[in-house]
Amino acid sequence: MSTPHVQAYIDGAWTDGSAGVSEYTAAYDGSVLGTFTICDAPDVQRAIAAAKKAQADWAAVPLLDKVDLLYRAYDLCAGPRRTCCGSVVWKPSEFCPGSTARYAQVLHDAGFPPGVFNFVPGFGDAGAAIVETTTVASWTSLRRGQAR
pLDDT digits (tens, 9 = 90+) for 34-45: 899 999 999 999
109-139 tens-digit pLDDT: 888 899 888 888 888 888 888 778 766 665 5
What stretch of H or E contains 119? strand 117-119
pTM: 0.70
145 confidence band (pLDDT: 50, 70, 90): very low
Decide if 121 contacts 8 (C-beta within 8 A): yes
Nearest Cα residue to 11 out of 118, 103, 104: 118
Helix (H, G, I), strand (E, B) or coil at 70: helix
CATH H-level, domain 5-147: superfamily: Aldehyde Dehydrogenase; Chain A, domain 1 (3.40.605.10)
